[in-house]
Amino acid sequence: MATPDFIRTIRATAGQQLLWLPGVTAIVLDDEERVLLGRRSDTRKWSVIGGIPDPGEQPAACAVREVYEETAVRCVAERVVLVQALEPVTYANGDICQYMDITFRCRAVGGEARVNDDESLEVGWFTIDALPELNEFGMLRIKQALADGPTWFDPMT
């Protein structure tokens, strides 16, 4: 996925050391309670939609923007589903990042699901009982988005 310009600027002086960054995930549901997913161009695997907020961008606005940029679907953020510090990730170029993920349940309000940038090979709507293979990250977020419970967080330190 493309590295945002502001991160490239930071990397110019910070090198490859660990960067602590915000991240957002959008679990988008339509009126039939289907989930919007994208098959990533980097891993070729199906995934939930997400990204990194621009400096000063509100997390919910970022979720809405990322969904549109990647899938051409218009959505609104309904609620925070989950907040979680993720494990550090080392990218192929040696850069290290760690993300604080804020996951939003979103509702589709327009647009037709299609590949809208170079981050996805395919996009589509899936019923809960017919999801493609997803990693634990995506499955937990979908489960929490469908639950009526409070925002999930890990109380362990």
User: Is 123 part of any domain?
Assistant: yes
Phi, psi of 133 (to 5 degrees): -60, 125
User: Is 87 part of any domain?
Assistant: yes
pLDDT given for residue 154 in this prediction: 84
pLDDT given for residue 84 in this prediction: 96
User: Is 74 part of any domain?
Assistant: yes
Name the token pair of 87. 């494990």
Query: CA torsion sign, 47 to 25 to 1 to 87?
Result: negative
Residue 2: name the closest of 69, 68, 57, 64 by CA: 69
Domain count, the chain: 1
User: Is 135 part of any domain?
Assistant: yes
User: Is 125 part of any domain?
Assistant: yes
User: Is 153 part of any domain?
Assistant: no
Residues in the chain with pLDDT < 70? 1, 157
* CATH classification of the domain holding 74: 3.90.79.10
- Running DSSP on this structure, what letter comes out for residue 129? G
pLDDT given for residue 3 in this prediction: 85
Widest CA span in the chain: 48
Contact 65, 73 (CB under 8 A): no
Range of the domain at 72: 20-148
Reported pTM? 0.94
pLDDT given for residue 1 in this prediction: 62
